[in-house]
Amino acid sequence: MVNGSERMKLFIDLFAGLCGASQAFIDHDSKDWMVIAVENNELCFDEVMKIEFCNWKLKWIKADISDKFTFMKIKRKIQAMEARFGTFDQIIVWASPPCTEFSDAQTNRPSNPSMVLLEDTIKLIEKIAPDHWYIENVKGAIRDFKPLLGSFHQKMGPFFVWGNFPRICVPRIILKKADAWSTDPLRANIRAKVPFEVSLAIKHALECQLKITSF
């Protein structure tokens, strides 16, 4: 499934939802990428797995980020994948913690939102020790994230991203979050889904960086 001697790369999507951030890596043209999606909502799994070509590329882990066993589940999945495809050339982690408590659009936003999920996310990323990592959230999270993550690394429309990663060149498009009927059980996931254009730009930035460092 990989051309020549090119080694596989791994994209780990935490709080994966509908796999917006990882969709370009799951795409059938991305033959040298594998994806691990970590999500606790089975409805998201059912929706994403309707994409036929992603079945061999996408490995799903139903788990909570704060669960102490989640890291071991990810580690075992990586070991099983490397036993089949060889050692990954790069491991990337993307995390999109729920933004409800941080959204400026929320009229009853708490003055001191819980930072437990963010803290657990940071700990999990440290355990995985990826080559590059991203934590994405909304503008309203800037103040609360700063003590733990410092200033955000890049802004892309309504998406603010912290982390250690090559700069993302997003096409000049209007970045808007999608929406759905209030009765849709996946409405929150649809609204939070990262656009394909952003996912593709992330992939291009990583691959360009890898080509530069390989010389």
* pLDDT tens-digit readout, 25-38: 988 677 899 999 99
Q: What is the mean pLDDT of residues 183-208?
A: 83
Q: What is the pLDDT of residues 73-123, one digit of tens each?
A: 999 999 999 999 999 999 999 999 986 655 555 556 666 788 999 999 999
Q: How far apart are CA 103 and CA 138, in angstroms?
A: 6
**Alpha carbons within 13 A on the beta-carbon side of 180:** 11
pLDDT of residue 79: 98
Which strands, in side-by-side order, build the sheet including 9-14?
A: 58-62, 33-39, 9-14, 91-95, 132-137, 159-164, 154-156
Q: What is the mean pLDDT of residues 179-188?
A: 61
Contact 101, 110 (CB under 8 A): yes
Amino acid occupying residue 122? I
pLDDT of residue 57: 84
pLDDT of residue 2: 52
Q: What is the mean pLDDT of residues 194-206?
A: 92
pLDDT of residue 172: 66
- Domains of the chain, first to last: 9-213 (3.40.50.150)
**Is a pLDDT exceeding 60 seen at residue 9?**
yes
